[in-house]
A and B are shown apart, each in its own frame.
Chain A
Amino acid sequence: MKTLLITAALITSATADLLLKPGDAVIHNQSGSEGLQFDNNPVARLAHWSSIDSSPAWGIETDKPVSLEVIVLQGYDGPEGNTYTLSAGSNKLAGSVKPNGNWHQPAEVSLGKIDLPAGKHDIRIIPEKLVFRAVMDLHGIKLVGDTASIKVVPPNPPPTNPFKGPGKGEKLTEAHPAALIRNITPPGIDSTIGGIAFRPDGTMVVSTWDYTGSVYFIKGYESGNPDDLKISLFADGLLEPLGIATVGERIFIGQKHELTELIDHNGDGIADEHRCVSDAWPVSSNFHLFTFGPAFHDGKLYLNLAVSINPGGATTIGQPKDRGTTIAVDPATGTYEVIAAGIRTPNGLHIDNQGRIFVADNQGDYLPANKIMHIRQGRFYNNKYEPPHPWSEREISPPLVWLPQNEIGNSPTQPITLPASWGAYAGQLLHGDIHYGGLQRTFIDEVDGELQGVAFRFSGGLLGGTNRLAFDSADRLYVGIAGRGGNWGTGQQNGLQQITFDPAKTPFEMLAIRAKNNGLEIEFTQPLAQGQGWDVNAYRLDTWTYAPNSSYGGPKIGGASLKATSASVSEDRTRVFLEIPGLTPGNVVRTALHSALHSESGQPAHSAEAFYTLNRIPTDRPGTIITPPATIVRIDAITEADLPRHLVVHNTYCISCHSIDGSPLVGPTFRGLLGKSQKITRKDGSTAQITVDRDYILRGLVETTAEYPEGFQPIMPETLHQAITPEDIQAVVDWITTL
């Protein structure tokens, strides 16, 4: 009898329920002040669960294997259709939210059984689909079974992707560790910087892209203290001056339709004459006929002439002569010659001390991604229009680097060569981006006499879109900030910043990647830690190409993962040769480093992702394969965290124009879109007041030109739906309706 009683007691104990209380949950991605949170009024629960990106988790610890039934306490008064997954250790249970007519009185919904070994486990609810304004009110999770050995403990942080983070898959948010950035925005010049140059006496010359079209002289900038600035107005009334070149004492300005010399005849610091050097190229009134430059080289002034486009982004049919070209103007005669054609919106022109011309160009039709080109005489760079430029039948020259849209660029701007004082980076190119922001770096790799290269993110931490770069005589870099809404704007729309560089603070990161016959060789700024670098799982590689066509932008074509079959670390541990079968000439190869990879001093990589434009695979420089030493540091086989598809699509195609937090960007925010009253303009010009529903959101993805909302431009890419699978489109629509 006694035995029987004890047994009964054990049975009672073993089958006691354990409630994972709402107040003990740790919430990941709270998603704003009104997102998922603990609410004790009138009853304890997790409420305001308006985003499927939010997930609550509990931790439990058991000293023996347990088998448990999982019951979710859910209160919900909405339509059927919300679904979720409950993960517990390696168990995954599917759940659906049934309406029970009361947010505050939960229904008990059993999801089934889980089996957990001894140890610590996280129990997390991950929403999958949301058809109403909230997933549910979650009143806890009841575990039924042998719970006596279970303790409730804090959960682990949600899984992270070792190949994601600032500098790999995401923008850099902080300044480069070796760069000291100072804000020296001149008082009284509240404007977008269109050009920066220096006179022989060190005076900085700055032009502003605004209604005043001004040129200023600035002295006292060296200290980086805006209080030391001495500013004077040199000229104004210029039309969209987007570049300056100083040639000795002479100052040349690129106006929208003219190359102009500003002349101070009497030396009083004010331009007495705006002399037209050349307006030999025909123009129209189209808003997009920008002139970028000038850059001076060998007696000529070089300019880039943008093509005419229609509002919305399509290239205008019928262009003035020689649009989409780089030209060289003879300042003595005003005549010009075309250097290269097939260019679209080339808001970046740089000629290095070897006379090499580098031009940045923006994605559009016949331009499937952003790029930097090495401009060579007589070449055609793929951007076409009708009627065609006479050079459009020439062989298409590939870019120095592709800059995939929204991954490492959006509207790239002026490149500049880094000087010797910038240490390991000397000779590389830096360029800005007026929309993506920050500074990006390009290492130039020469194969068979042609330049190709690899682009890295370099620095965040700047005020806004980065438009112009110029070095002073002490190699301090000046960054002109720009933006003006539309496609041209991120962060602040104006400003001037100074960067002083300390090479002693150069962080651990990829310095260069060079193509080899049989793979890629990565060079690091510092030695890898002893034993690191040999494990091929430390590198994630994928590849794709582009095909210019009449669509705006273009999807990646032939995307595929690559796998290194060996990784060979050099004796000094600063280089790793990755043997990679299946490399294809003409492709971009993306290389990301695992977060566990670090330097000898223990630093993780500052910027750990690179985009190599493999126009050519060399045949005369094989990579050396080295037998690994007996002991190497292995990185566990990596499986990329399963990022929900809607976030993959959003991060790739939507994020630069549509916020999810209500903040205004180029396009309407996704937050609160469903149910919003919205005036729209249809393709035929008619207007209507509508309430945003699921079909409207769907049309926004698959019929992008059908209509557009009041207050915005009709600039959605026409072929977006070709780049996204129908399943992903549905996932994005589902997700937007929850925000």
Chain B
Amino acid sequence: MKLLFFSAFFLTGALSHAQSPVPERSGNLPVFRTVLDEKPRVLVIRLGSEHAIAFDCEDGILWKAWRAEPGQLPVKLQGAVYDGAHGPQPVSEGKFLFIDEKPQLICSDTSATLQYLGHSPQADGTAIVRWAFRNADHKDLAVIAVKPSFANDTITLHYKLEGTPSAKVALRTPGTDKPAQALSTLATSIALKP
């Protein structure tokens, strides 16, 4: 009888609290949109515990990569929404990694413009980021999906064309003599140098 009483008590206690499967979160999320270092429309993806990369959503390029100081966050969140301050916006903090190649997406239909399509969070804490080449009739000619991965101080960007493209897409690396690489499914590794 006594045992039953305690069981009932605990049962009552368990039910009397609202379900709150809201994860405890602090600091930087694994994937988030932000203004960063005075650039709007940036997507930050954290890679491991210290590294982070930032895509320029408007240009479709990997814009920054850096490593936070041990125990520190890669992005200092400051501004009205974060700490009430009017004016400042988030800044990256840590040791910046030199990206010697910033491949750009090019389309066989040169009148098409690159349009950011958003991202899909992934179970591994990263995200698939998408852009499309869109023509003047607002038709997406080709959708490009990019997923980053990180190992051995090397970021690899995995490119993939989704759906049935009606235009050809290639990666070109300005400032180099590398030929443009036609895109269907392509993994491009970018070594990060200290």
Q: Contact residues of A with B, CB < 8 Å?
A: 186-189, 209-213, 216, 220, 226-233, 236-240, 255-258, 260, 271-276, 279, 283-285, 287-289, 310-312, 332-335, 484-489, 713, 715
Contact = CB atoms under 8 A, between A and B. Distances in A.
A419 B188 CA distance: 57
Contacts of A255: 33
Interface string B66-87: 0000000000010111111111
A187 B20 contact: yes
Contacts of B16: 227
B22 A237 contact: no
B84 A485 contact: yes
A497 to B, nearest CB: 15
B20 A188 contact: yes
A284 B58 CA distance: 12
Given A257-B41, A260-B118, A283-B40, A226 B18 contact: yes
24 contacts: A187-B18, A187-B20, A188-B20, A211-B29, A231-B20, A231-B21, A232-B21, A232-B22, A236-B25, A237-B31, A237-B32, A239-B32, A239-B34, A255-B33, A256-B33, A257-B40, A275-B117, A275-B118, A283-B40, A287-B86, A287-B89, A311-B87, A486-B86, A488-B80
Given A211-B81, A236-B25, 16 more contacts: A188-B22, A213-B32, A236-B29, A239-B32, A255-B33, A276-B117, A279-B57, A279-B58, A285-B35, A289-B40, A484-B84, A485-B84, A486-B80, A486-B85, A486-B86, A489-B84
Nearest to A713: B86
B174 interface: no
Given A187-B17, A187-B18, A284-B40, A211 B82 contact: yes
Nearest to B35: A285
Given A212-B29, A238-B33, A715-B86, A230 B118 contact: no
Nearest to B139: A333
A257 B43 CA distance: 12
Contacts of B89: 285, 287
Contacts of A486: 80, 84-86
B119 interface: yes
B33 A213 contact: yes
B88 interface: yes
B17 A227 contact: yes
A229 B85 CA distance: 33
Contacts of B95: none
B48 interface: no
Interface residues of B, number: 42
A283 B116 CA distance: 14
Contacts of B39: 285
A529 B83 CA distance: 53
A203 B131 CA distance: 31
B57 to A, nearest CB: 7
Contacts of A187: 17-18, 20, 22
Closest CB pairs A-B (n = 5): A485-B84, A311-B87, A188-B22, A237-B32, A188-B20
A36 B14 CA distance: 53
A274 B118 contact: yes
Contacts of A232: 21-22
Residue of A189, A240, A487 with most chain B CB atoms under a 10 A cut-off = A240
Contacts of A487: 86
A211 B33 CA distance: 10
A287 B79 contact: yes
Nearest to B44: A237
Interface in B1-36: 16-23, 25, 29-35
B77 A233 contact: no
A484 B41 contact: no
Contact of A189 (B22, B57, B85): B22
Contacts of A485: 83-84
Interface string B115-126: 111111100000
Contacts of A210: 81-82
Nearest to B30: A237
Contacts of A273: 118-120
Contacts of A220: 18
Given A287-B87, A287-B89, A229 B115 contact: no
Contacts of B32: 213, 236-239
B23 A233 contact: yes
Contacts of A715: 86
Contacts of B81: 209-211, 240, 484
Contacts of A212: 25, 29
Given A213-B33, A236-B29, A484-B81, A274 B120 contact: yes
Contacts of A239: 32-35
Contacts of A310: 87
Contacts of B120: 272-274
B38 interface: yes
A238 B35 CA distance: 11
A484 B78 CA distance: 12
Nearest to B21: A232
A557 B80 CA distance: 33
Contacts of B117: 275-276
Residue of A237, A289, A332, A486 with most chain B CB atoms under a 10 A cut-off = A237
A237 B138 CA distance: 27
Nearest to B23: A233
A287 B18 contact: no
A283 B82 contact: no
A1 B33 CA distance: 106
A441 B22 CA distance: 35
Given A211-B77, A274-B120, A279-B116, A229 B18 contact: yes
Interface in B54-110: 57-58, 77, 79-89
Contact of B22 (A216, A279, A312, A333): A216
Nearest to B15: A227
A16 to B, nearest CB: 65
Nearest to B134: A334
Contacts of A283: 40-41
A287 B88 contact: yes
A484 B80 CA distance: 7
Nearest to A289: B40
A256 B90 CA distance: 14
Nearest to B16: A227
Nearest to A216: B22
